[in-house]
Amino acid sequence: MDFIIETKDLKKRYGKFEAVNSLSLHVPAGSIYGFVGPNGAGKTTTMRMLTTLTRPTSGEAWVAGHSVIQEPRAVRRAIGYMPDEFGVYDDMRVWEYLDFFAACYDIPENNRRKLIDDLLELVDLAHRRDDMVDKLSRGMKQRLSLARTLAHDPSVLILDEPASGLDPRARVEIRELLVELAKMGKTIFFSSHILADVSEICTHIGIIEGGKMVAQGSMDEMRAQLMPHREIIVTVRDQETAERVKTLVATLPGVLDVQFLEPKSGRSRVRIDFTGDDEGIAAINQALTGAQIAILGFTEETKDLEAMFMRVTKGIVT
């Protein structure tokens, strides 16, 4: 696998305190990677090492094929970084703000006007082009900050809590924007202490607590690795069909238990306790269709995924 961000035994010590401890991160190219952990877990510290702002105490880290220790300039060129604080930019208009950062990245003056218009369009701020930055709402500032990270067309975005302090609607907007950027081919590595922000759009997740990685992998791997079992509810027309489902499914690989549930709206329901990955779930579905059983509903109860996150991250507030 091709990892665009990779760390090995990464450590950051402040005096005797280990803020980041033997962290091994694996972020595949093209992924939306959610870096989740409670306050003080070490997310910002890790990101500051990846962005070359803080030097690791020991260990190694590579971003886009470059070592953060040996080739910090190459790393900086490859990444767009959005810090957790917006900073203060009095007396600047929205377009001037982007113009300033584009200039910092040596983008020629002649190209900047079009670039700024394109970026504002992307983050839906074209109508605020000439407004003062400090008059923008928090959600707009976050989007402007995101636009700024894109000025030099980086392949990797490192975003520290991009949705923090936003209302539900603004959070959704940021999430949609991240998905759009991923479609443009960018790898997105972002932190959050809010699970719901992460699990909906992420392809990969890493959970950090007390400076250590508790678990990481693709969404599917995380489920398989950490969930003792998953529950699938199959809805069918009547009890006779439900019994056929039970007989058929009981012998499939990964199936732990099959129970009849109370009928709902006159329909019979079967609960399948299952351990395994998404392929296994697809196999159950296929077996039912293959046996010509008329399925009215086939859903996974996702409560367990939430419970899994709560368990491994203890302190996380969702």
Ligand X SMILES: Nc1ncnc2c1ncn2[C@@H]1O[C@H](COP(=O)(O)OP(=O)(O)OP(=O)(O)O)[C@@H](O)[C@H]1O
Interface residues with Mg ion (CB under 5 A) are 43-44
Closer residue to Mg ion in complex, CB, 191/241: 191
Q: How far is the CB of 212 from ligand X (least distance, A)?
A: 12
Count of other CB atoms within 10 angstroms of residue 144: 21
Count of other CB atoms within 10 angstroms of residue 53: 15
149 exposed, middle or buried (CB, 10 Å; 0-12, 13-18, 19+)?
buried
The entry of ligand X, Mg ion, none near residue 162 (CB within 5 to 8 angstroms by kind) is none
SS3 state of residue 294:
coil
36 contacts ligand X (rule: CB under 6 A): no
Q: How far is the CB of 99 from ligand X (least distance, A)?
A: 30
Binding residue for ligand X, selected from 25, 36, 37, 50, defined by CB under 6 A: 37
Q: How far is the CB of 40 from ligand X (least distance, A)?
A: 4
Distance CA 22, CA 9 (A): 4
Distance CA 259, CA 80 (A): 50
171 contacts ligand X (rule: CB under 6 A): no
Q: How far is the CB of 47 from ligand X (least distance, A)?
A: 8
| Residue partners of 22: CB distance under 8 A and separation at least 6 | 9, 10, 11, 59, 212
Binding residue for ligand X, selected from 10, 33, 42, 119, defined by CB under 6 A: 42
Distance CA 189, CA 173 (A): 17
Q: Enumerate residues 6-25 that contact ligand X by CB under 6 A.
A: 14, 19
Q: How far is the CB of 292 from ligand X (least distance, A)?
A: 52
Count of other CB atoms within 10 angstroms of residue 282: 10
The stretch near ligand X (CB under 6 A) out of 39-47, 59-67, 96-104, 272-280 is 39-47
DSSP annotation of 136: S
The entry of ligand X, Mg ion, none near residue 37 (CB within 5 to 8 angstroms by kind) is ligand X
Q: How far is the CB of 180 from ligand X (least distance, A)?
A: 25
Place of tokens 């940021």: 174
The entry of ligand X, Mg ion, none near residue 59 (CB within 5 to 8 angstroms by kind) is none
| Residue partners of 227: CB distance under 8 A and separation at least 6 | 275, 304, 305, 308
Tell me which residue has its CB nearest to Mg ion.
44
43 contacts ligand X (rule: CB under 6 A): yes
45 contacts ligand X (rule: CB under 6 A): yes
The stretch near ligand X (CB under 6 A) out of 40-48, 138-146, 169-177, 218-226 is 40-48
The entry of ligand X, Mg ion, none near residue 21 (CB within 5 to 8 angstroms by kind) is none
Query: Left (φ > 0), alpha (ψ -120 to 50) or beta: where does 292 sit?
Result: left
Q: Judging by DSSP bridges, how do beta strands 156-159 and 187-192 pair with one another?
A: parallel
CB 112 within 8 A of CB 101: no
Closer residue to ligand X in complex, CB, 20/125: 20
- Name the packing angle between helices 109-122 and 94-104 (round to 10°): 120
Binding residue for ligand X, selected from 1, 2, 39, 127, defined by CB under 6 A: 39
Q: Would you tell me which residues interact with ligand X (CB under 6 A)?
A: 14, 19, 37, 39-45, 193
